[in-house]
Chains A and B, each alone.
Chain A
Amino acid sequence: AQSVSQHNHHVILSEAASLELGCNYSYGGTVNLFWYVQYPGQHLQLLLKYFSGDPLVKGIKGFEAEFIKSKFSFNLRKPSVQWSDTAEYFCAVTRVNTGKLIFGQGTTLQVKP
């Protein structure tokens, strides 16, 4: 069965520190990959997506992610986090041509000012 694993459940960083959140998925076919963010009290929002092409994708608010097919990974990065990045981050995958998103368990990021 398809699954998504996020390496870190809870990350605490100081402002200006660099961020990398790990995500691995298990599915051998072609997939679409996503990172969603849920700020406190708000709904899920798309940070970035990968469908095809350049494996390095850029999203909103300075986030980027790299798809490494050989490692089944889609890690999220940001060079310098801000207090406003405090949120829960979810990696998700779908098989191509389905609307069934499989989510990782989420990573809570706390940024200290």
Chain B
Amino acid sequence: KAGVTQTPRYLIKTRGQQVTLSCSPISGHRSVSWYQQTPGQGLQFLFEYFSETQRNKGNFPGRFSGRQFSNSRSEMNVSTLELGDSALYLCASSLGAKNIQYFGAGTRLSVL
């Protein structure tokens, strides 16, 4: 069974641009969560989607948004990039809220 797949693995953008990250969950998993990992702030929850609905949201500005498609694949979008958005963005999938979250390898975003 394939794991959680995130694309692209690496991304370099400049300030003010926008970016879209993609996550394909494990087959059969309906819940997708996104996290930001930085050396200073650690792992922080961005949002969770279940059956195409955002179920939970972390404390990030509105520049961070996401969506989930009917096949459970999810995208995360960051608009008007800032230097501080440089981070490893992790996606995790699970069967549902009560289940274990399995993480992808992440997308490393560098904002110059």
Q: Chain A: interface residue count, which band?
A: 20 to 34
Count of A-B contacts judged by CB separation below 8 Å: 58
On whether the beta carbons of B101 and A101 are closer than 8 Å, the reply is yes
Q: Which residues of chain B from 49 to 66 have a CB within 8 Å of any chain A CB?
A: 50, 55-56, 58
On whether the beta carbons of B100 and A100 are closer than 8 Å, the reply is no
From B42, B55, B102, B106, contact of A103 by CB (8 A): B42
Q: How many B residues, CB 8 Å from partner?
A: 25
Q: A32-B98, A43-B106, A46-B100 are in contact. Are A99 and B48 (CB under 8 A)?
A: yes
Residues of A in contact with B (beta carbons under 8 Å apart):
32, 34, 36, 42-46, 49, 51, 90, 92, 94, 96-106
Residues of B in contact with A (beta carbons under 8 Å apart):
31, 33, 35, 42-45, 48, 50, 55-56, 58, 90, 92, 94, 96-98, 100-106
